[in-house]
Amino acid sequence: MKKKINAVQFGLGPIGQLCAKTILQKHSERINLVGAVDIDPSKVGKELGELLGIDKTGIEVESDIKNILKKKKVDLVFHTTTSFMSDVRKQLIDLIKLKLNIVSSTEELFFPRYRNREIAEEIDNLAKKFKVRVLGTGVNPGFVMDVLPSVLTQVCTSVKRIRVERVVNASKRRLPLQLKIGAGLKVSEFKEKKATGRFGHIGLVESLQFLAYVLNIQLDEIKEELDPIVTYKNLRTDYLTIQKGRVAGIHHRAIGFKDGNEVIELDLKMFIGDHRDYDAVYIDGEPPIKMKILNGVFGDTATVGSLINCGYLIFNAKPGLLTMADIGLPHGFFSQK
């Protein structure tokens, strides 16, 4: 790991802003944030501190990272723009050609070699050519339903089946996420959006494929189910009012089969309500393991934590398109801030 990393925040939506703010306030001893980039005209040209609601940073938001590279040396880009490989392909290629290492919150980038094999191979070959590293990570995918259960199997002499359950009270989360899970939609509108293939939680199948890869399971079949959770009372969040009989969120499952048997099941419920969050991992193995995180892992903060901590760790790996299995033991760093 480099002693101090010069980094740029690329994308200043809610997660990008929280990432930049966290770096400045808690990680300045290890990360020197030298720039920020966004395409939104209302953000370009602003003092980053003003945008984040903190003291001045000396950083002006740019529309093009090349403007930053003219003045500063950059080691790493924290990339937080969108969920889909096809949408970020050009962004990643442009950054790689500038010889920049990348840690990204793009969900499909977490384990892209199946659903997006051609783009993944293109990114991998290019990253090796320019001697940089590219990693997709976060909380889900990136930790709760993939990395965490894989680490728990370390003590098992055999593993027969894994089930991971995540229940999220989305009323506590940011507006873009509430909209992404269909909160407030009619059931008919939910079905229309579901048919696009670009709706709901993104990355569940990537999490399943990562687990199969780590456990060396050649899956015969994968089934994915996405259903609405409908509220039977009126609900309200800081952003939305949801009428009785409309969608409060999603129930999303991905199941991997081997020889006709379910060997991996990922079950995600993310919806508006008054329920409590939790994350649970059940391993049918020797020894059997049952683990439950009360109150769950809060997604927004945990996503930022994963991005920043992995920003240090990717330098342990060889250049190319990486997975979380390539960077060594994932961990955080002590801080008194």
Whether the model clears a pTM of 0.75, i.e. scores above it, the answer is yes
Write a three-state SS string for 249-292. Answer: EEEEEEEEEECCEEEEEEEEEEECCCCCCEEEEEEEEECCEEEE
Compute the C-alpha angle 141/142/143, nearest 5°: 105
CA dihedral 187, 175, 110, 199 (to 10 degrees): 20
Per-residue pLDDT of the chain (337 residues; tens, 9 = 90+): 557 999 999 999 999 999 999 999 999 999 999 999 999 999 999 999 999 999 999 999 999 999 999 999 999 999 999 999 999 999 999 999 999 999 999 999 999 998 899 999 999 999 999 999 999 999 999 999 999 999 999 999 999 999 999 999 999 888 888 999 999 999 999 999 999 989 889 999 999 999 999 999 999 999 999 999 999 999 999 999 999 999 999 999 999 999 999 999 999 999 999 999 999 999 999 999 999 999 999 888 999 999 999 999 999 999 999 999 999 988 777 666 6
Peptide bond into 141 cis (omega under 30): yes
For residues 36-63, b (16+ Cβ closer than 10 Å) or e, as one string? bbbeeeebbebebbebbeeeebebebbe
Domains with residue ranges and CATH for the chain: 5-137+301-326 (3.40.50.720), 147-296 (3.30.360)
Q: Are 248 and 272 in contact (CB under 8 A)?
A: yes
Distance (Å, whole) CA 280 – CA 277: 10
Alpha helical stretches, state H, the chain: 14-26, 48-52, 65-69, 85-97, 117-130, 147-152, 175-180, 187-194, 204-214, 299-313
Residue 10: phi, psi to the nearest 5?
Answer: -110, 105
